[in-house]
Structure 1
Amino acid sequence: METLNVIKKSIVITFASIILACGAETLAAIVFIPAFTAGWPVVGVPDYTINLQSDDEGLESGVIFGDESNHPTDADKQFNTLDGSFNGLNIEFTINRPNDVKMKYTGKMIPISDENHTIIRMELNSSEGALVLGSE
């Protein structure tokens, strides 16, 4: 019986040590499972939308695909396909634009909460600059 208690204590101490070593954000990213919606408005650019989809929705990591559409002033940013991946809260995708230009975006997905993994915002960066998807 005493051996069993020592084993239980060791497991609790090990798990607590992992949480402290990784930090809460890292641990949340390890167990995070995103939920996507299709159309993402680009903050600050009316009518410009990035459409994201995944056959791996509900999994911790997977592949995404979609397109960018409806840019109000830049014809090169309309109806271009994209593909990429996500892993926990991390996301990256490449938009395939005219003249063989490939624009890669990387960043973080922001969920409603640690318990509700519905994504409400994505904060991305590329060589074109920052791009925020979601509500203002």
Structure 2
Amino acid sequence: MQTLNLIKKSIVISFASIILACGAETLAAIVFIPAFAATWPVVGVNDYSIDLQPDANNKGVEFGVFNGAEINNPSGLYQANNMLSGSFNGLNIEFTIKRVNINNDLDTTFVKFTGKMTPVSDTDHNITKIELNSSSDGQLVLGFD
């Protein structure tokens, strides 16, 4: 029993030493809580954007889920606002867009995007760019100029 208590104390002391040695900024970087709720323009495509909106329970957390919409897909085949849902874990993000054909609502496709978010810095978790890939649609980059 005494050995177990000694191990617990050693772990606590080690963790406290790491915090003191590295500082709070490094610890904040280990647990990354992204801030990405916005309507994101698609880089290089006028009037095409992706709206990503976590609800109140999924803001200010390291991982969670969100909903949103694809707005004005440039192909002209789909509704102006196609719903999407997804998840994030740190800087990793993925979502699936439900694209409804404007001529035949039975012709619906689901397109999955996965990618990484780029923050301002290790301490400023506001996202500046989101780079995504889809096996069917290729690369999609979201960002502000």
Query: Smaller-chain TM-score range?
Result: 0.7 to 0.9
- Equivalences, count: 123
Aligned residue in 1 for 2:33: 33
Report sequence identity in percent: 54
Q: Does the CA-based 8 Å contact 2:37-2:54 persist in structure 1?
A: no
From the CA coordinates, give the structure whose radius of gyration is larger: 2
Gapped runs of 5+ residues in structure 2?
1-5, 19-25, 101-106
Distance in 2 between the 1:105 and 1:46 partners? 20
Distance in 2 between the 1:91 and 1:126 partners? 12
| 1:11 and 2:19 are equivalent in the alignment | no
Distance in 2 between the 1:76 and 1:96 partners? 10
- In the TM superposition, structure 1's runs of 4+ consecutive aligned residues that sit over 6 Å from their partners are none
Aligned residue in 2 for 1:60: 62
Distance in 1 between the 2:62 and 2:108 partners? 31
TM-score (norm 1): 0.77
Gapped runs of 5+ residues in structure 1?
16-23
Distance in 1 between the 2:113 and 2:79 partners? 14
**Residues 77 and 110 (structure 1), Cα distance of their counterparts in 2 relative to 1, 3 Å cut:** farther
Report how far residue 72 of structure 1 moved: 4.3
Q: Deviations over 1:40-79 (max 9, x none)?
A: 0000101101001002011000001100112345242631
Q: Does the CA-based 8 Å contact 1:68-1:77 persist in structure 2?
A: no
Distance in 2 between the 1:120 and 1:130 partners? 17
In structure 2, what residue type is equivalent to 1:50?
I
- 1:1-136 to 2 correspondences below 5 Å: 7=10, 11=14, 28=29, 30-55=30-55, 56-76=58-78, 78-98=80-100, 99-127=107-135, 128-135=137-144
